[in-house]
Amino acid sequence: MSEELVYLKAKDLQDLMQVKFERAGLLPEHAQEVAKHLTYADSRGVHSHGAVRVEYYSERIAKGGTTITPNFSFEKTGPSTGVFHADNAIGHVAARKALDYAIDMAKENGVAVVGVSQMGHSGMLSYYVDIAAQQDLVALAVCQSDPMSVPFGGTKPYFGTNPIAFSAPTNGERPIIFDMATTVQAWGKILDARSKDNEIPPTWAVDETGAPTTDPHKVRGLLPISGPKGYGLMMMVDILSGSLLGLPFGQHVSSMYADLSAGRNLGQLFILINPSYFTDLDKFKANLSKMIDELHENSPAPGFDQVYYPGELSEIRHNKHEETGIPIPTGIYNYLQSEVVHNNQYDNSDAFAEK
C-alpha cells in the first residue's frame, strides 16, 4: 500500500528544507538555493530530485563531505570557454554560479561552453536550462553520476544515470524544456517508489541476478534507455562532463554513499547558444511557438487525449500543484518537521542498499 501524502504550498516546503540544511551546516544563502531547487523538482512532479533527497544531503553536509565555505573560482580558458572550480561545494550552488558565467559569456560571444569541476550532486538539470532559456538562450546541460547502470549486454554497473537537459526560448510564457536520464529512469525514481512502497515497471531495472524486477527494494542495476542507444548516450555524457574536465570516469566516479565525509569530485557541462548570433531571435522564438501549436493540433493516438511537446507535462503538474499543494510522503514530511538532522543511514552503504 502506498504511503499517505501531505500537500504543502511551495513556500512552506522550501522553508522546511532550508531549515534542515541550515541545521546540517550549510550557509543560509546556500541552504536557500538548494531548497529552492528541490522545491522546483517536487512542484513539477519530479519527486526523485526533491524532498526525498534532503536527508541524504543533510548527512553528507553534517559529516564533512560537502565543503561548507567553498573557495569558488572561475578559470576563463578562452573567449567562450571556462571551468568553474567548485571545491566540492554542494552541487546545486556550484552549478548555479557557473551558469551565470556561461550566460554572460553566451550573450557576449554567441556561445559558451562552461564546465563545473569537483562538485557535489547538482539535482535536476532542467532547473539550470530553464534559467538560461528565460535569458533567450538555447541550453544543453550534461552531468556525470556514480555507476548504477549496467552497460548494454553486461551485468555489472559501469556508467551512471548521466542525465541530459535541453531548453529553448519561445514567444510564450514558458520555454521548451526537456530533461532525461540516459537510463530508463533516474535512481531517484527508484528511491521515490521505495518511499511510497510502489512497484516499478519491469523495464526500469534489474535485480542481483540481472533479471528484470518490479520491486524497487530489489534493484541492483538500472537499464539504459533503448538498449545500445542509451548506452552510447551515457558514455557521451560521461566523456563531456568527466574526462573533458580531467575528472574520474565510468566506474571510477565516486559512489554517492561510499564515504559521506569525502567530496564527490563530480563534473557538469553547460553549452549555451545565443540564437541571435545565428538567426532573428523573434522569428526563432515564434517558430518554436508555432511548432508547439502544430504538435498540439496533431491527432492523438488511441489511449492519448492530446499530443504534448517533450517536458510539457512537468509544467502542467507544476500549475496543478500551485493550486492543490505539492504532495510529499508523510514519512518525509515528518522528518522535515523533526529536530533530527539525519538518521545516520546512508554513510558507507551500497548504492542500492535499503536505507
Between CA 263 and CA 110 the distance in angstroms is: 34
Please give the helix or strand (H or E) that residue 117 lies within, else none.
strand 111-119
Are 41 and 52 a contacting pair, CB within 8 Å?
A: no
Catalytic residue among 47, 49, 92, 121: 121
- Chain center to CA of 74: 22
Are 86 and 74 a contacting pair, CB within 8 Å?
A: no
β pairing state of 266-273 and 111-119: antiparallel
Cα torsion angle, 211, 214, 217, 219, sign? positive
3-state secondary structure of 76: strand
Respond yes or no: is residue 252 known to be catalytic. no
β pairing state of 138-143 and 266-273: antiparallel
Between CA 88 and CA 61 the distance in angstroms is: 11
Burial class of 327 by CB neighbour count within 10 A (0 to 12, 13 to 18, 19+): middle
Helices (H) and strands (E) in the chain, counts: 10, 11
- The one-letter amino acid code at 153 reads G
Between CA 218 and CA 212 the distance in angstroms is: 10
Alpha-carbon dihedral angle through residues 28, 32, 33, 39, given to the nearest 10 degrees:
160
Q: What is the DSSP letter of 137?
A: -
C-alpha cell at 182: 540516459
What amino acid positions are annotated as catalytic residues?
Answer: 121
